[in-house]
Amino acid sequence: MSEPAVCSAKGCRSAASYALIWNNPKIHAPEREKIWAACEEHRQYLADFLDVRGFLRRVERF
């Protein structure tokens, strides 16, 4: 059995409920997708952080 994902927000140790899929087009190939895990509390904050930089592709529920 695998461990539950932990939120990627700094200092947060909550279980993650969302996957924020992103890509930095300046350094990653277009097909590469990176993932940040997010709890309910930090989902919007992390999504906004990525989106304002043009990195956010989509948000999926685990």
Q: Is residue 57 over pLDDT 70?
A: yes
Q: What is the pLDDT of residues 13-26, one digit of tens each?
A: 999 999 999 999 99
Q: Is residue 1 over pLDDT 60?
A: no
Residue 53, C-beta contacts closer than 8 angstroms, at least 6 positions apart? 24
Q: Is residue 50 over pLDDT 80?
A: yes
Cα-based distances in Å from 38 to 4, 15, 21, 27:
12, 8, 11, 23
- Please tell me the predicted confidence (pLDDT) of residue 15: 97
pLDDT band at 2 (very low <50, low <70, confident <90, very high): confident
